[in-house]
Amino acid sequence: MLRFLSKMHSGGRLVASSHIRKALHFNIGDQLLLRVEDGELRAIPRMEVIRRAQQLIAQYIPVSVSLVDELIADRRAEAAREDSEFHISRGGPLFG
């Protein structure tokens, strides 16, 4: 476990030493989720938060299911319904 003393600077800035940044693979410009848990400040890289969320959701989706393919099929079906409703409301297709 790495431990380093830091202090709060003006504007609420908190400095993480290079040792901590390297250990956590933090880079300049990285987005971090900051949360308070049990009176402690925790910093989690945005990509790690996304990875954890994907892992959590994946356990409920069978391997044989492609959410992308399902989304595309749903969107195409919805577009076809919208097109059909438009033609009905206009009395037929726009051209022809």
DSSP letter string, 9-54: -GGG-BPPPHHHHHHTT--TT--EEEEEETTEEEEEEHHHHHHHHH
Q: Is-above-0.85 flag for pTM?
A: no
Specify whether 30 is located in the same domain as 68: no
Specify whether 45 is located in the same domain as 15: yes
Domain that holds residue 81: 63-96
- Per-residue pLDDT of 7-38, as tens digits, reads 999 999 998 889 889 988 899 999 999 999 99
**pLDDT of 77 above 80:** yes
Residue with the larger pLDDT of the pair 91 and 19:
19
Specify whether 49 is located in the same domain as 80: no
Six-digit token pair at 47? Answer: 């990509």
Exposed / middle / buried, residue 20 (Cβ in 10 Å: 0-12, 13-18, 19+): middle
Specify whether 1 is located in the same domain as 46: yes
